[in-house]
Amino acid sequence: MFTSQPIGVVSSPYKDASEIPKGLGAKHEADGVLKILPEFEPGLTDIEGFSHLIVIWEFDRSQGFELLVTPPSDNRPHGVFATRSPRRPNPIGLTIVELRRREGIELHVRGVDMLHGTPILDIKPYLSSISSATLRRGWLAEAEARQR
């Protein structure tokens, strides 16, 4: 058990959840900045070499959770662990971003889908990918097929 401790904050064009592209085929290509707290700067050493980063962050404007949710991209309820719903038992969000450049404690990235001011909990290098040919995407693929 631990208590979350922000290592930085997201600077994003989205000030309100309604502005974030949602649903099927939503593209997350917004530019943003991951502003890391100065005391953690040594932890960024050599991060420039990675093209993509996994950002783990906190849904700080979400309260409570529900185990069955109806996502915007479908009209049927699914288990929260089969969705990206913000209302989760642990309010942890995850986004894969492209690292464009680093300026000291600022990581300039593409692909943010977080609200402005979102606390960052961790950053990890994105190392390997599973080929899209082997991926099954459950109810999301079914919902896409129905809308075609």
Q: By CB under 8 A, is residue 10 in contact with its own copies?
A: no
Q: What angle is formed at CA 29 by the lines to CA 136 and CA 90, rounded to 5 degrees?
A: 60
Cβ neighbourhood burial of 115 (10 Å; 0-12, 13-18, 19+): buried
- Using CB under 8 A as the binding criterion, the count of chain residues that bind its own copies stands at 62
Q: For its own copies, give the closer residue by CB, 72 or 89.
A: 89
Cβ pair 120, 7 in contact under 8 A: yes
Smallest separation, CB 15 to its own copies (Å): 21
Site string for its own copies, 44-83 (x = CB under 8 A): xxxxxxxxx-x-x-x-x------xx--------xxxxxxx
- Residue 47: which residues within 8 A CB-CB, separation 6 or more? 53, 99, 102, 107, 123, 125
Binding site for its own copies (CB under 8 A): 1-7, 40, 42-52, 54, 56, 58, 60, 67-68, 77-84, 88-92, 94, 96, 119, 121-132, 134-142
